[in-house]
Every structure is written in structure tokens, then in C-alpha cells.
């Protein structure tokens, strides 16, 4: 691996409308529903046209946050998913997750 750190990852995710354990939603992964980067990520997939929102909301414990916030330079409503459920869901889908040493 390169010299990337967990701080670098947090900045990259935030610039794409995703925050992990932000102060307003600890223990959650937060997705900005209006962020164009997320729309682009899913554009050519089965989750295109906003279906990614429905998929996130189907994860146990997911909720829409009451207060829209700015995330990744875009104001908008947000979906929060518990970190533990997000990881469990990814593992169930066959993703292999590794935690870098500097993130512990």
C-alpha cells in the first residue's frame, strides 16, 4: 500500500458525499442523497436512478437524518446506516474488508 492514511480516506469519502462516524451521526456511515458523485458511482449499475437510496434504507437500522447538511460540498438530506450493519452487509455480499494498521 501507499502512504494513504485513514484521514486521507475520510477526506476522499467526504468529497464524494460519504462520511464515516461524523460528529452529527456517530457510529454511522452517512450518505448525502443529493451528491452527484454517488449518482455517478451507481449510474451503470442495478442501483442507478436513485435505487441506491432504497437499498441503503433497507439495511437494518438505516434512517434518514432529520436535518439536511452540507457534505462533500453539496447540501442535502442524508441517509445514515449503522457502521456495523454496513460492514455486515458488505461481507454478506462477498466483499473482503481489511482495516489498515494506522486506522486502529
What pLDDT does 6 receive?
77
Report yes or no on 18 lying in a domain: yes
45 lies in a domain? yes
Supply the pLDDT for residue 20: 93
Q: Which of 20, 19, 28 is nearest to 76 (CA)?
A: 19
| pLDDT computed for residue 98 by the predictor | 59
In a domain, 1, yes or no: no
Report pLDDT for 96: 66
- Would you give the distance in Å from CA 100 to the centre of its chain? 18
Q: What pLDDT is stored for residue 93 in this prediction?
A: 77
SS3 40: helix
| Number of DSSP helices (H) and strands (E) in the chain, helices first | 4, 6
DSSP 41-79: HHTTSTTTTTHHHHHHHTSTT-EE-SS-EEETTEEE-EE
Q: Which domain holds residue 88?
A: 6-103
Is residue 39, in this structure, part of any structural domain at all? yes
Q: What is the mean pLDDT of each run of 10 residues along the chain (104 residues)?
A: 72 93 94 94 89 92 95 95 89 67 40
Looking at residue 1, its pLDDT comes to 47
Q: How many domains does the chain have?
A: 1
- Helix, strand, or coil (residue 4): coil
Q: What is the pLDDT of residue 64?
A: 96
Res 37: pLDDT: 93
Tell whether 80 is covered by a domain.
yes
Domain-located, residue 10: yes
Amino acid at each position: 500500500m501507499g502512504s494513504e492514511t485513514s484521514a486521507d480516506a475520510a477526506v476522499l469519502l467526504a468529497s464524494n458525499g460519504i462520511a464515516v462516524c461524523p460528529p452529527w451521526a456517530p457510529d454511522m456511515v452517512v450518505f448525502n442523497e443529493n451528491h452527484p458523485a454517488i449518482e455517478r458511482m451507481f449510474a451503470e449499475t442495478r442501483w442507478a436512478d436513485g435505487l441506491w437510496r432504497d437499498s441503503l434504507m433497507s439495511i437494518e437500522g438505516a434512517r434518514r437524518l432529520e436535518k439536511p447538511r452540507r457534505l462533500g460540498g453539496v447540501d442535502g438530506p442524508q441517509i445514515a446506516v449503522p457502521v456495523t450493519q454496513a460492514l455486515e452487509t458488505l461481507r454478506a455480499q462477498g466483499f473482503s474488508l481489511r482495516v489498515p494498521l494506522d486506522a486502529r
